[in-house]
Structures are given as structure tokens and as C-alpha cells.
């Protein structure tokens, strides 16, 4: 039996997971879990990167004690990066994308390059958090600092570098930067010039699934490890998750449900036109050169952050308690536009949701159950809206939706999605990102060949639940009300 280790760094925790391949089936289990909390210092929100690397080493130590681990792979969320100096030392702690340095930045960007041109070249959804704009902010406000930087490494690449000493840009994570030519493994000279970002900063791009080489001798000695390779898996968590979508059909809709909801379809080449620009779809690069035509939607962040707020107020609820309360709350009380900017920053989200409902002339949710139900229904309707937008862009209709990721632990959300979209929902695996990360390591070792084979192994390995649409008249009527709220801001 072959064993690998996947490091998956998510919004509040990081995990070391051991993956095993046995008779064409993959099993995964957690061996180490640690916090991944950003740290606010002197007004800047940082990654606690050295602590994380230390925890990853602890995970390796535990895995190493079991023996027979052949490789490791790291995935994180997109867009964030660290900068190395000429000696290969990390210059500063990487900054978290929820830092305020890019708030409102697109106005200034527009003076350097038209946003339409930026979209046409990169095919990336315009989001303030993108690497391009984080760098633009540095070039504008901290030029001296940027001048000292020699190499930029996106977060999974940075950890790979810490492990191996090799600095490369893995393709999937590179494509979250808004600096790549759409569908190409090539940095865009035009965008870099316009935003005054030095081209030399950017590393050579390598395909997802490349074997980078062995873990450094010094780390092996420190941890008393056998030789182990580092694989540059799809470092972008979303793209590792997409490898694990259990679809058999070529054209399918996926929703990767976590802090964000990434909803889209898989294509062979980028789709960039007026419609896709109008809807602000991104063309993200994935394993095997596939393109994910998707939208970043706010996801469970709304519930996570509300829960944090209630905790601060002295009431702590588990996610399953909140789901139970939402289940019992009145249906279709009120709706919000889950992607409104006011919901993206940390703070008193329940109050912001109440204000939104009041301002739009709706009934105001009071209890946590009502708030969570309002969030879940609004998310499900957002999925319906984006499903229609995808169909409008591709000209295709889709039979079912595939939902993966931690968000599908909420059976309520899966059920609501099936009802709101009027489609069957296949939900699973919950641990899609880890399955993808692990599977890509086995593929890199030559044990699995190609995306269809990877997905067939996932189908055999993971639990998949099916939800069917119900009560279509009620859901259709409520969807019309939801759309009215979003288009007028009032009902």
C-alpha cells in the first residue's frame, strides 16, 4: 500500500492528512490539525507562516513515524504570496487577502489599464483581493520594499520552497493572480508593465502535478525522515477539489462549498467574451490544463462569521445546532445579496443582515435560526442565478449539480440548492480538496493516469449523497421575490 501526505491550509485550520491507495480506492485520515489564524499587527493582517511551517513539520514527524510515506503536497487558498530577497530569505510575513490594503483599489488600477483589457488578457474575475492588485498596492505605496524582493512565491509554492529549496510557480495557483495570459502558462508582459510589477519577480511556471524533488536534507535530519518527495499538486485548493468532483459527464456544474462558494463548469479552453465579462466569470487553470469557468461567490463565511459574532456576545452554537435552528425557522422570510461588499469584512454580520433586510423593505430576521435560514436560502438562490448565467455563456443545459467541500455537511444547504435550482444535487466528497491533493500525488508517481481515471477512483472512494428537487412552485415564487430584492434593492 502506498502512502502520501497532504497539507491543506484552510480559512481557520490547517491539516496534515495521510492518503493511502489500495485496490483503486483512496482512503484519507487526519494525523495533525492546527490553527491557521491570521494575525493583525500594526494595522496589517498577516499569515503566521513560520508557525504554519512548524506545524507542517510536526505533521511530517507524525506521518514519518508511521513509515512508508513517499511524497507530500501542499494546497492553500488562492492569491496570497510571500517575497524572497536575493539570498532566498523571506522578506516579511505574507499578507492575508482580507487585509484592507486593496480596498477600493480598482479605481487606481483603472488609470493604468482598462479593466476590460485586464479581463480580456487574463480571463480572471476582477476581485480586489487578486495578487495583481496586492502587488499594485505594494508598487504604489511600498516601492522600496518591492525593490528588495527578488522572487514572488504564491503560498503553496512558498511552502514547497521551504521544503525543497526550489522556487517554482505551480500553474493552478499562478492562475489566481490575474497576471497570467488566460489558459496559458505564461505571465502577461502587458499586464505586468501596465501595473508596474517587475517581471523578474515571477517564477518559472510548472504544470500541476510536477514532482519537485526531495525534502531538504536538513529537514530530513531534523525530523529523522526517510527520503520523501514534494509534489507540486494543484496548489490552489479549489483546483485540487475539482480533481475530486465525481462527475462522469464531460460538461457538468460544480460548487465547491467552503468559506467561498466556487461555482462553475469545466472547459478545455478559456471562454472570454462580453457575456462572461458582464457576469464577471473567471477562467482558472487546473490540472491537465483544464479551465474552470467559475465565479467566486461568498459562501459559508456568512455563517462562520455570524457564529463568531454570537460567540463574542456570549452565545456559542455548533454548526449543527445552527442548522437545526434554521431548519425550524420560517421559510422565505427574507433574502440578502450574499455577495454585497458589506458582508465581506469581519464583524457583526447578523446586524448587517438585519439592516439589509430592513433597508430593502423585507421582514427582519431576529433569531440565529432566522438569520442562518436567510443565508442558506439566499445562497441557494445565488447558485440558481449563477447556474442560469453559466448556461447563458456556454449555451448548454445541465442535468445535475455536483457539490463538494465542507459546506455539504449542511444537508439543509444541499437540499435547498436542489430545490432552488430545480436540479438533482450529488453531494460529495466533503474532503474533496484533500482527495484531490492526495490523488494528484499518486498520479505524479504514475499510479493513476489522467483526470477520468482520477475521478473514477474518487467515485469508488468517497461518500456521495443525492438530493432531489421538491416543492418547485414555492421555490419558483420565492426565487422571483429574491430576484426582485437583488435588482431593486427593495421589494
Positions that interact with ligand LRH (CB under 6 A)? 77-79, 97, 176, 236-238, 258, 260, 262, 296
Q: Which stretch of DSSP H or E encloses residue 171? A: helix 171-174
Neighbours of 168 (CB within 10 A): 18
Residue closest to ligand LRH (Cβ): 77
- Torsions phi, psi for 243 (to 5 deg): -60, -30
Apex 165 CA angle, 159 and 166, nearest 5: 85
- For the four alpha carbons of 444, 448, 449 and 452, in that order, the dihedral sign comes to negative
Between 173 and 426, CB nearer to ligand LRH: 173
Chain Cα centroid distance, residue 188 = 23
CB of 110 to ligand LRH, least distance (A): 21
Between 362 and 437, CB nearer to ligand LRH: 437
CB of 404 to ligand LRH, least distance (A): 12
CB of 394 to ligand LRH, least distance (A): 20
- Residue identified by cell 469508488 is 460
- Torsions phi, psi for 402 (to 5 deg): -105, 120
Q: Which stretch of DSSP H or E encloses residue 242? A: helix 237-243
- Residue identified by cell 469584512 is 345
CB of 258 to ligand LRH, least distance (A): 6
Between 151 and 238, CB nearer to ligand LRH: 238
Pairing of β 282-285 and β 291-298: antiparallel
Full strand arrangement of the beta sheet holding 2-9 = 25-35, 13-22, 2-9, 69-75, 229-232, 210-214
CB of 239 to ligand LRH, least distance (A): 8
Q: Which of 237, 268, 376, 449 is catalytic?
A: 237
Between 295 and 459, CB nearer to ligand LRH: 295
- How far is the C-alpha of 325 from the C-alpha of 373, rounded, in Å? 8
Between 97 and 171, CB nearer to ligand LRH: 97
Dihedral angle computed from the Cα positions of residues 378, 380, 383 and 388, in that order, rounded to the nearest 10 degrees: -90
Q: Which stretch of DSSP H or E encloses residue 82? A: strand 81-84
Catalytic status, residue 237: yes
Between 96 and 415, CB nearer to ligand LRH: 96
CB of 457 to ligand LRH, least distance (A): 23
Active-site positions?
A: 237
Amino acid at each position: 500500500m502506498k502512502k502520501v501526505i497532504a497539507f491543506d491550509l484552510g480559512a481557520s485550520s490547517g491539516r496534515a492528512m495521510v492518503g493511502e491507495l489500495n485496490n483503486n480506492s483512496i482512503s484519507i485520515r487526519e494525523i495533525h490539525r492546527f490553527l491557521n489564524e491570521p494575525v493583525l499587527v500594526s494595522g496589517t493582517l498577516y499569515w503566521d507562516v513560520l508557525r504554519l511551517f512548524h506545524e507542517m513539520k510536526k505533521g511530517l514527524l507524525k506521518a514519518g513515524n508511521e513509515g512508508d510515506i513517499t511524497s507530500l503536497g501542499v494546497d492553500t487558498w488562492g492569491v496570497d504570496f510571500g517575497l524572497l530577497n536575493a539570498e532566498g530569505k523571506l522578506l516579511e510575513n505574507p499578507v492575508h487577502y482580507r487585509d484592507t490594503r486593496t480596498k477600493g483599489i480598482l479605481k487606481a488600477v483603472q488609470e493604468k489599464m482598462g479593466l476590460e483589457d485586464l479581463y480580456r488578457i487574463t480571463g480572471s474575475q476582477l476581485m480586489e483581493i487578486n495578487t495583481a492588485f496586492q502587488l499594485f498596492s505594494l508598487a504604489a505605496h511600498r516601492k522600496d520594499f518591492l525593490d528588495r524582493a527578488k522572487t514572488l512565491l504564491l503560498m503553496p509554492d512558498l511552502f514547497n520552497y521551504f521544503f525543497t529549496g526550489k522556487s517554482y510557480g505551480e500553474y493552478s495557483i499562478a492562475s489566481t493572480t490575474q497576471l497570467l495570459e488566460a489558459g496559458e502558462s505564461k505571465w502577461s508582459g502587458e499586464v505586468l508593465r501596465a501595473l508596474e510589477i517587475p517581471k523578474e519577480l515571477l517564477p518559472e511556471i510548472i504544470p500541476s502535478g510536477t514532482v519537485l524533488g526531495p525534502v531538504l536534507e536538513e529537514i530530513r535530519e531534523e525530523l529523522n525522515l526517510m527520503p520523501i518527495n514534494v509534489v507540486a499538486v494543484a496548489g490552489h485548493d479549489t483546483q485540487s477539489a475539482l480533481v475530486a468532483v465525481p462527475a462522469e459527464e464531460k460538461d457538468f456544474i460544480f460548487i465547491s462549498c467552503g468559506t467561498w462558494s466556487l461555482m462553475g463548469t469545466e472547459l478545455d479552453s478559456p471562454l472570454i467574451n462580453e457575456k462572461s465579462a458582464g457576469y464577471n466569470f473567471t477562467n482558472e487553470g487546473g490540472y491537465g490544463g483544464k479551465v474552470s469557468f467559475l465565479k467566486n461567490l461568498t459562501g459559508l463565511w456568512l455563517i462562520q462569521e455570524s457564529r463568531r459574532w454570537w460567540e463574542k456576545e456570549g452565545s456559542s452554537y455548533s454548526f449543527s445546532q445552527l442548522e437545526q435552528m434554521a431548519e425550524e425557522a420560517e421559510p422565505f422570510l427574507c433574502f440578502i445579496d450574499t455577495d454585497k461588499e458589506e458582508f465581506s469584512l469581519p464583524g457583526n454580520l447578523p446586524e448587517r443582515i438585519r439592516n439589509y433586510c430592513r433597508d430593502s423593505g423585507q421582514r427582519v430576521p431576529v433569531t440565529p435560526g432566522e438569520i442562518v435560514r436567510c443565508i442558506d436560502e439566499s445562497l441557494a438562490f445565488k447558485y440558481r442565478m449563477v447556474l442560469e448565467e453559466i448556461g447563458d455563456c456556454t449555451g448548454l443545459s445541465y442535468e445535475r449539480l455536483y457539490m463538494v467541500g465542507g459546506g455539504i455537511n449542511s444537508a439543509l444547504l444541499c437540499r435547498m440548492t436542489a430545490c432552488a435550482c430545480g436540479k438533482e444535487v450529488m453531494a460529495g466528497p466533503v474532503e474533496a480538496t484533500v482527495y484531490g491533493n492526495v490523488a494528484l500525488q499518486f498520479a505524479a508517481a504514475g499510479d493513476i493516469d489522467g483526470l477520468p481515471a482520477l475521478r473514477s477512483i474518487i467515485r469508488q472512494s468517497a461518500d456521495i449523497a443525492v438530493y432531489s428537487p421538491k416543492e418547485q412552485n414555492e421555490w419558483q415564487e420565492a426565487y422571483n421575490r429574491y430576484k426582485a430584492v437583488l435588482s431593486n434593492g427593495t421589494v
